[in-house]
A and B are shown apart, each in its own frame.
Chain A
Amino acid sequence: MQRSLRLRQLMEEGVVIAPGVYNALFAKAVEKTGFDAIYITGFGTAARYGYPDVGLITQTEMVQNLRHICRATSIPVIADADTGYGNIINVRRTVREYERTGVAGFHLEDQVFPKKCGFMEGKAVIPLDEHVQKIRAALDARRDPDTVIIARTDALAPNGWEDALARARAYREAGADLVFVDGIRTLDELEIYSRELAQKGIPCLYNGGLVTAKTAEDMGFKIQILAGLALGAVFKSATAAMQELNSSGSTRQTMAQFGSQPADDNVNDILGVPEIYELEQRYDVASEGEAAQ
């Protein structure tokens, strides 16, 4: 089954939890630990390439990362498509390129290009009408009618609730499958989001971990993404490892603290090393020693 259709099915069943990761290895971990969907964060993808999330990472780099991730997994992948990397013409190409990677859906935001992370200072948004056109263009560009197009608004911080709500409603009106008000920092804000949109029949995505999956579902959300999950875990563990290396010359305690890898879920197995050995046998690839001098 197409992942896009699968995502739509999952949304019928209840809130879809999509932990945020940014490379194929961590995406495999999401699948292996039994989640229904994977969220690919633009913030994390930018960090992977060594940059802050301020619109420096190109569509090409995002697509390349998604290709690896989709090849390595089979559950639905929800991706960050930033502003669509330009105007409506760029949005069209972005939709086609993203679809070819195999993602189930992605979100397009109403920030000016180059954008900023939803939680950073200094965001600015384009006029509502312009983003409505981008959403229309995205819907028209789909080759797979099930691809889930998520319209994100970043208007809350720069323009306030009234504008953010007006935008979310307009984007839904234009045909977006879901809306996504980003930059929700408090439970109060989350409650407004729920009351004014999610509970009024507009399918909504919530980005954050202020509430558990159960509560998010009760509040009416269709998707909850936890964009910073992998980034935070990597930052914490890698920093601790460096500090231990500096102080005692090894990383053993850190390795123990962050959980050793169980026999049935270690890096090499999850990447398919056992399957490689099987293939070598099946196709009679020279065994050890034969090619040695």
Chain B
Amino acid sequence: MSSPGARLRQNMTGDMVLAPFVYDGFTAMIAEGQGAQAVYMTGHGTSAQIGLPDVGLTSMAEMVANLGYITEGVEVPVIADADTGYGNAINVQRTVREYENAGAAAMHLEDQVFPKRCGFFEGKQCVPMAEHVQKIRAALDARSEPDLVIIARTDAVAPNGRDDAIRRAEAYRSAGADLVFVDGIKTVDDMDIYTTRLVEQGLPCLYNGELLPVPEVAKRGFKVMITGGGHALSYAAVRQALLDLKQGGGEGRDLEQFNTITSLLGLPEIYELEKRYASN
């Protein structure tokens, strides 16, 4: 079978690739079960599930461990958040190899200073553009097979303004990044500028957000869109279930749902295997 990166590249030749946010094996399997053609492993969600805010406290090893569970759980390509690459160009090269080994189809590397913070938080800072160009070059060189999709992300919109963000995206693409990703797009106005100055100039771009519905983002020419409720939706739903329980509600689980969940997680296949390898 072709590599995850090759499969993602194949998908990108067609319609825009839609990769819903997932943060663990279970949510990845739910997304795939509902027909997702790719999934996106969020760093924010990966941090949240181990109880940490998305401010660069989660280690590369913890990200890789989570990535491994997700790629083992689903067949579809996994696009993974790789933050800043967890250090300088040398760290980036190890990160690329570890992500590749863990089965990533794509990964994005951002130009924030380390430790980073969520793309939508206050107080972001960027490393100089030339430094991130080197990190992108290092990432491309570190791939053991050329199919792994390297996505260069810039966080420069908030701290430095739109012009710097555009310039950085162009430089990262010139350095060989497969896609560019301008993060922190908060208004349709920003979205329009992203579209006209990068997407329509022929740069392959990724959009993160939910300002516009999927078909409209696709119409603008984006190659990849990452979106969805992720862990924030799960948190809201769990919180609601807890409040319902406080009000005297039950567990909110029934046998049908239990069976659907166990099937999704592969229990029927386990029973098959038990029969196949039965010793008596």
Contact = CB atoms under 8 A, between A and B. Distances in A.
B184 interface: no
A71 B51 contact: yes
| Dominant SS among interface residues on chain B | helix
Contacts of B242: 19, 29-30, 33, 35, 229
A51 B24 CA distance: 11
A254 B253 contact: no
Given A120-B267, A255-B233, A259-B240, A288 B214 contact: no
B245 A288 contact: no
Given A241-B228, A245-B227, A255-B233, A230 B55 contact: no
Interface in A212-235: 212, 226-235
A293 B121 CA distance: 20
B279 interface: no
A87 B156 CA distance: 56
Interface stretch (A1-9, A132-140, A148-156, A263-271): A263-271
A231 B259 CA distance: 13
A276 B159 contact: no
Nearest to B243: A33
A69 interface: yes
Given A25-B48, A251-B228, A49 B239 contact: no
A47 B25 contact: yes
Interface string A178-212: 00000000000000000000000000000011101
A229 B241 contact: yes
B130 to A, nearest CB: 9
Nearest to A71: B51
Contact of A68 (B51, B121, B123): B51
B146 interface: no
Contacts of A23: 24, 49-51
Interface of A: 17, 19, 21, 23-30, 32-35, 46-54, 68-69, 71-72, 117, 119-122, 208-210, 212, 226-239, 241-243, 245-246, 248-252, 254-255, 258-261, 265-268, 270-273, 276-277, 280, 286-293
